[in-house]
Amino acid sequence: MTKTIILYHGLLKGLLAVVAAAGLFYPCCVAAQSSARRTPAKAVIQIWLWGGPSNLDTFDPKPEAGNDYCGPFKTPIETNVKGIYINELLPMLAKQADKYSLIRSMTHGVNAHETASYMMQTGHDSSERLVYPSIGAVVSLFKGYDHGYQGMIPPYIILTTSLGRFSEVGFLGPRYRPFVTGGDPSRTPFAVEGIVAEGITEQQQKDRRQLLDQLDLLGKAMPGNANFKQFNQCQDNAYNLILGDARKLFDLSQESNELRDRYGRNWFGQSCLMARRLVESGVPFVAINYNGWDTHKQHFEAMRRKLPELDRGLATLLQDLSDKDLLDSTIVLCGGEFGRTPKVQWEEPWNGGRNHYGKCFSAFVAGGGFKGGRVVGASDARGEGVVERPVYPQDLIGSIYELLGIDPDGALPNPLGLVIKVMPSSGNGKGVGRLKEIME
């Protein structure tokens, strides 16, 4: 009996966690206001390069700066858009530059992970009195359950670990928090926390449900109790997740082996494929937390591993979205919290490392109303500073909101009843403002 009770408690806890993340056990708590502007963008896939990628070693190569800056990456390749060059280890992305734009003048000047992540995820300065929600939480607010989203999968998904070091939801509260999947999409099965239990068959899940029903003597004795009815509805929703269409959605074996190979049979490649499946099913915001870019030591060795993965996964995602007529309605955002020091630290103990650098870095945008084949801004000859068209976090995020039909200057609900805007003033008096030059 003790073993049965433990089984009951463990399964029930997992089920309720998923349902709570989906917002199915919470009443509607805010009345969001969004722009009436017509827009093609319905979803966002954010590829978060946690740790901060080097602009010189990705989308803003500087071979002429010399070995102390470019290291071994001395031969950038031209893309299919004349005049745009990127790192030599990104050949697949080079063939699709007509689908994306590069921002080479991102800046905020912050070199700490926590503060920089907060700024790049919210568009707000950390010195403000409120803790603002991330892009995903804001999209969940304006495009989620309060505005017609009816999916069983929560509207804000993170593959596969929390973005970390800041509160993704800020002051909006638990209804808008992300559902963090856990697991590894490159493994079979993809064990999504609370939905797919590794080593547990569908029949075993059904048997467990039957056992729980047999144990529910109190519920059977009080069939008209309103609280029990609500609990039963929550439990039914949870089981629909683990035994219904949600389980199939996370089953990557339903995709062809050829397509899975194209994405790359690794964590990142299969996460990109999973993100495409999620937005195809109607999920409005999916983030991929791609770790491993905080390269203080042996940076170039790490890049020889990471860049080919990024190249294959991201390039295949763009092509796959395009083939399925999803790219025009899906924004793809790729970047980290900052860049890395342009000058290489060759000395011990770094052995060719790069440190944190928020003064000048790059970002990548595609789809959903962003034009392709463009470059925004410019850095100096060594990639150390912005010399043309500075772009601040609020400029980039505000542009994304506009393309989604969310008014960046509109009101953002908050528990204190304060009159605050979704985004601070465009450019904050320092930059040019939103990315109108690459917005359709």
265 part of a folded domain = yes
CATH of the domain at 304: 3.40.720.10
The predicted model gives 255-259 an average pLDDT of 97
213 part of a folded domain = no
Per-residue pLDDT, 430? 62
Residue-wise pLDDT for 198-222, tens only, equals 777 767 767 776 777 777 777 677 7
The predicted model gives 412-440 an average pLDDT of 83
Per-residue pLDDT, 19? 46
Per-residue pLDDT, 245? 74
Q: Token pair of 213, please?
A: 């029903």
Q: Is the link from the previous residue into 4 a cis peptide, with omega within 30 of 0?
A: no
Tell me: pLDDT of 283 over 90: yes
Strands 330-335 and 43-49, by their bridges, are parallel
The 3 state secondary structure assigned to 219-287 is HHHCCCCHHHHHHHHHHHHHHHHHHCHHHHHCCHHHCCHHHHHHHCCCHHHHHHHHHHHHHHCCCCEEE
- pLDDT higher for 406 or 200? 406
Tell me: pLDDT of 183 over 90: yes
10 part of a folded domain = no
Tell me: pLDDT of 35 over 50: no
Tell me: pLDDT of 39 over 80: no
Per-residue pLDDT, 257? 97
Q: Token pair of 382, please?
A: 């060594």
Q: What is the mean pLDDT of the chain?
A: 87
Tell me: pLDDT of 133 over 50: yes
**Range of the structural domain that residue 131 is part of:** 31-196+250-438
Q: Cα-flanking dihedrals φ and ψ of residue 289, to 5°?
A: -90, 95
Tell me: pLDDT of 6 over 70: no
Q: Is 153 exposed, middle or buried (0-12, 13-18, 19+ CB in 10 A)?
A: buried
pTM, 2 dp = 0.87
Nearby residues of 398 by Cβ (< 8 Å), 6 or more positions away = 123, 408, 422, 423, 426, 434
Per-residue pLDDT, 233? 66
Share of the chain above pLDDT 90, in %: 70
Highest mean pLDDT range out of 108-117, 157-166, 427-436? 108-117
8 Å CB contact between 357 and 341: yes
Nearby residues of 76 by Cβ (< 8 Å), 6 or more positions away = 61, 63, 85, 86, 87, 88
Per-residue pLDDT, 431? 63
Nearby residues of 334 by Cβ (< 8 Å), 6 or more positions away = 46, 47, 49, 314, 363, 364, 365
State how far the alpha carbon of 287 is from the alpha carbons of 18, 268, 297, 332, 390, in Å.
Answer: 17, 12, 27, 10, 25
364 part of a folded domain = yes
Per-residue pLDDT, 16? 44
95 part of a folded domain = yes
Q: Is 407 helix (H, G, I), strand (E, B) or coil?
A: coil
292 part of a folded domain = yes
The predicted model gives 411-416 an average pLDDT of 86
Residue-wise pLDDT for 303-318, tens only, equals 999 999 999 999 999 9
Count up the domains in the chain and report the number.
1
Per-residue pLDDT, 415? 78
Cα-Cα end-to-end distance for the chain: 63
Per-residue pLDDT, 204? 75
Tell me: pLDDT of 169 over 50: yes
25 part of a folded domain = no
The predicted model gives 312-341 an average pLDDT of 98
Tell me which residue of 421, 438, 440 sits closest to 105, measured CA to CA: 438
E strand map for 136-236:
156-159, 179-180
Q: How many CB atoms lie within 10 A of CB 59?
A: 27
Per-residue pLDDT, 164? 75
Residue-wise pLDDT for 89-132, tens only, equals 999 999 999 999 999 999 999 999 999 999 999 999 988 888 99
Of 11-15, 53-57, 124-128, 340-344, which range is least confident? 11-15
Given pLDDT bands bounded at 50, 70 and 90, which one contains residue 362? very high
Tell me: pLDDT of 10 over 70: no
Tell me: pLDDT of 9 over 70: no
Can you spell out the DSSP letters for 286-332? EEEEE-----SSSHHHHHHHHHHHHHHHHHHHHHHHHHTT-GGGEEE
Q: Looking up tokens 């909006």, which residue turns up?
A: 172
The predicted model gives 398-419 an average pLDDT of 92
- pLDDT higher for 149 or 217? 149
421 part of a folded domain = yes
Q: H/E element holding 104?
A: strand 100-106
Per-residue pLDDT, 429? 54
